[in-house]
Amino acid sequence: MDTVSQLQRQFVEYTASLYREGYLDDQFTQLQKLQDESNPDFVVEVVSLFFEDSEKLLNNLTTALHQENIDYKQVDAHVHQFKGSSSSIGAQRVKDMCVVFRNYCDEKNLDGCVVCLQQAKNEYILVRNKLEALFNLEQQILQAGGSVPMMV
Amino acid sequence: MRQILQIFLLQFDMINDCKDLHVLAVDDSNIDRKVIQRLLQISSFKVTVVESGSRALQYLGLDEDKNSDRFDNSSTLREIPVVIMSSENSLTRIDRCLEEGAEDYLLKPVKLSDVTRLKNSILKSGSGEITGIQTNKRKHKRDQSPLPTSIDCHTPPPASPQHSLEKRARL
């Protein structure tokens, strides 16, 4: 099997595993539908925005939860934003963690919030690594002269 | 509480072609702005994207600071259809938005099929003007039919005229 086919198979299997393990959901597929020759880097662009946004949000959340008097409304606003952006790109596990996080905000449960923040960070780092690996595979396929299989 | 508005504004041209439909999409999330812009573009709408309700009003030529009479008397802008985009899946909220005159309520995350469905319903609603000569009757009919805009409400829509555009509900 030549390099391109090998890489393509790797790509397909890796993508399938990301969906199977719940890292990505249908919304990621939706994003891929929006990519074409006129917008060939759409998915990478949106995901990059997500990475930037998430890192800011996680920093803001860390700061907010270290205040002497915690403003849970503010914390909730950040989590809501994080939930929205993760939902928009299909980062399912991050989104699900945000749902739990918001419940703790509602209860003004600091311990719960702190644990959720850590878990949200972990899930974010996981999905970021996986998406970066996925994009890397795409690049390898393209550089080897192949085309990236459509997962739609 | 801050009202976050996402507004689609559709200017329905007499030539009933989707390319002439101009949507003003409003979203405070840069990620969602990028996605909705692409969703609309790929569905052949002309798109302008802004980041806030006040920017949207500015774009429409309505400054919140200016005389509110001008706002209330702006009947053309009143005809602009509103489509809501929100992550909130609450029947009471959805009903309220539709009662206040929204054309539709799209649940986030928005999918291509949502935009396609919206496009089809807009094109259908203007079917009287697809071909043929402009008549007074048709023009009158067009003036009566509001076009979709989209509002994302994180809080219940305020009753104040400053923020809400009066629309007749078309259900």
Asked if the Cβ–Cβ distance from A49 to B30 is below 8 Å, we say yes
pLDDT single digits (tens) B55-70: 998 998 876 565 555 5
Q: What is the full DSSP assignment across B9-46?
A: --B--SS--GGG-EEEEE-S-HHHHHHHHHHHHHTT-E
More confident residue, B161 or A9: A9
**pLDDT at res. B84:** 95
Establish if B171 touches chain A: CB-CB under 8 angstroms.
no
Is the pLDDT confidence value at B130 over 50? no
Establish if A60 touches chain B: CB-CB under 8 angstroms.
no
- A39 and B38 Cβ atoms separated by less than 8 Å: yes
Helices marked H in chain A: 3-20, 26-33, 42-64, 72-89, 92-106, 110-143
Is the pLDDT confidence value at B108 over 90? yes
Domain A3-143, CATH homologous superfamily name and number: HPT domain (1.20.120.160)
How many angstroms separate the CA atoms of A53 and A58, rounded? 9
A53 contacts on B by Cβ (under 8 Å): 29-31
Is the pLDDT confidence value at A111 over 80? yes
**pLDDT at res. A73:** 96
**pLDDT at res. A108:** 97
Asked if the Cβ–Cβ distance from B31 to A88 is below 8 Å, we say yes
- Whether CATH 3.90.180.10 fits B8-65+76-125: no
Asked if the Cβ–Cβ distance from A42 to B38 is below 8 Å, we say yes
A85 contacts on B by Cβ (under 8 Å): 29, 31-32
**pLDDT at res. B148:** 46
Query: Could you report the predicted ipTM of this complex, rounded to two decimals?
Result: 0.94
Asked if the Cβ–Cβ distance from B35 to A34 is below 8 Å, we say yes
More confident residue, A25 or B78: A25
C-alpha torsion sign, points A85, A90, A94, A96: positive
Is the pLDDT confidence value at B170 over 80? no
Establish if A74 touches chain B: CB-CB under 8 angstroms.
no
Vertex B39, ends B33 and B42: CA angle to 5°?
A: 135
pLDDT single digits (tens) B92-106: 999 999 999 999 999
Question: Tokens at residue B73, please?
Answer: 């008397």
Asked if the Cβ–Cβ distance from A88 to B111 is below 8 Å, we say no
Average pLDDT, chain B: 70
Is the pLDDT confidence value at A92 over 70? yes
How far CA A118 is from CA of A67, A82, A124, in Å, comes to: 17, 14, 10
